Structure 1
Amino acid sequence: MTTTDTDLEAILQVVATVEHAQNNELPDEFLQLFRSDAIWTTGGGKRLFGLEEISAFTHQVLPGGMAGLSMKFELEHVLFIRPDVAAVKLKQIYTTPDGLDIGSPLWVLAKENGKWLLTACQNIIVLDDSDAEAAA
């Protein structure tokens, strides 16, 4: 099994679907992208194990959660760990009434039955330059 341009395009489609689902507050569109045993850690640090927990959280926060916000992803890097497993590093840019907030998601996707699925995902905030220097 080898990776192809088609695999990269499919991964980019997963990213685009997450962006669309979150911006349009479509929890079911978002949830169909996950394995049943997926792990998701929110930008706020809430750890969710399995699709049932991810679904309950998403249905609780997504409707209304994007009011006054918009979000986009920029792909930074894809590392194919194996032909059927990829680590995807993104820049997440939220436009808020107060300006921009930046997140730095890392998603591990697994290819199952020809479909790339979110498997283990975590988001963190990005410190501004002064905070980054202080943390170093």
Structure 2
Amino acid sequence: MSPIESPATAASRDADRLTELVAAIQRTQRAEDVDGFLALFAPDAVWVNGAGGRLLGIEEIADFTRKALPGGMAGQSVRYDVTDVRFPAPDVAITSVDQEYLTADGQSFSPRREGRPTYVWARRDGDWRIVHGQNTGVIQPADETIAGEDAATLRDIVANVERGFNENDAELLIRDIAPDARIVNAVGAELIGREEIETSTRKALLRAHLRDATAHYRLDGIALLAPDVAVAHKRAWSTAEAAERGDAPEMTALYVFARRDGRWWILRRQNTLVAAA
């Protein structure tokens, strides 16, 4: 830290750097770049993988990685999202991460294949290196699972919303809105019923700042609350590139879906802007 740099500024800069390094884990794993992946670890690192295998030191980590990574990403991809960064000491950091394996075209598997890795970092030779880490696979409770076909349908519904926003297509934006839906938009206005939602949507698309804006959505946490009721959370960025960089989402939304007459509808949507850090 320079003499004129505050601790808060230094921590913010370090948090940005750690987010970049987690993005490097994602990038090197996708590319099956063994050397690039191993360069992120300290020589004395300890890693417990998702199968519970404990690897002591860079040699054991390297031996495992050289066997597992080449060819390991065939037909699939992976995504890492940093959810928390902590500094228990100036030169020690902990990052919490949401990990999800995806199809080659970036779609979630059904059932989803997720992990919750934690990385402990130490500052070594002017940069951060992983000194301890552990991954745990996510097992969804039985009462929260949803059929793969239904999950895909809900993702398609939200994809319609994204596409409608990006293409200024009001019909796509309201296609899956239930007649009795309620929406609380990002500025806190409550819209009641499909007719009011449609009117507001068409007016909004005439405003330059929305007409020229773009969006990228990710739908997570799909859960079935009853045979015909599901909930999910959406994270939104202006661009896919921002999401891939690991930037914090700019907005989140709660969705409640209801199945009626053999199809799914958006029954409720609540949007919240994410305050800048």
TM-score, normalised by the number of residues in structure 1: 0.90
Match 2:123 to one of 97, 111, 117: 111
1:128 maps to which residue?
140
Query: Which 5+ residue runs of structure 2 have no aligned equivalent?
Result: 2-6, 145-277
Does residue 1:80 correspond to 2:92, yes or no?
no
- Residue 4 to residue 46, structure 1, CA distance change in 2 (3 Å): same
Aligned partner of 1:34 in structure 2 is 41
Amino acid paired to 1:101: R
Runs (5+) with no aligned partner, structure 1: none
Q: 1:12 aligns with which of 14, 19, 23?
A: 19
What secondary structure is seen at the aligned counterpart in 2 of 1:56? helix
Amino acid in structure 2 at the alignment position of 1:120: H
Indicate yes or no: 2:99 matched with 1:92. yes
Q: CA deviation at 1:13?
A: 1.3
- The superposition leaves residues 80-106 of structure 1 with CA deviations (integer Å, 9 ceiling, x where unpaired) of 111111111000011148533010001
Secondary structure of 1:59's aligned partner: helix
Q: 1:58 is matched with which residue: 60, 65, 76?
A: 65
Between structure 1 and structure 2, the one with the greater Rg is 2
CA distance in 1: counterparts of 2:134 and 2:143, whole angstroms = 21
Secondary structure at the aligned position of 1:73 is classed as strand
CA–CA distance in structure 1, aligned partners of residues 32 and 43 of structure 2: 21
Find the aligned partners of 1:96 and 1:4 in 2 and give their Cα distance. 35
Relative contact order, CA 8 A, sep 6+: which one is greater?
1
Q: CA offset at residue 130 of structure 1?
A: 3.2
Percentage identity across paired residues of the two chains: 39
Tell me the matched-pair count.
Answer: 132
How many angstroms apart in 1 are the aligned matches of 2:65 and 2:38? 8
Letter of the structure 1 residue corresponding to residue 116 of structure 2: S
Partners of 1:45 and 1:66 lie apart in 2 by 20
For residue 131 of structure 1, report the CA deviation from its aligned partner: 7.5
Length-normalised TM-score, structure 2: 0.45
The alignment status of 1:45 with 2:52, answered yes or no, reads yes
Counterpart Cα distance in 2 of 1:7 and 1:61:
30
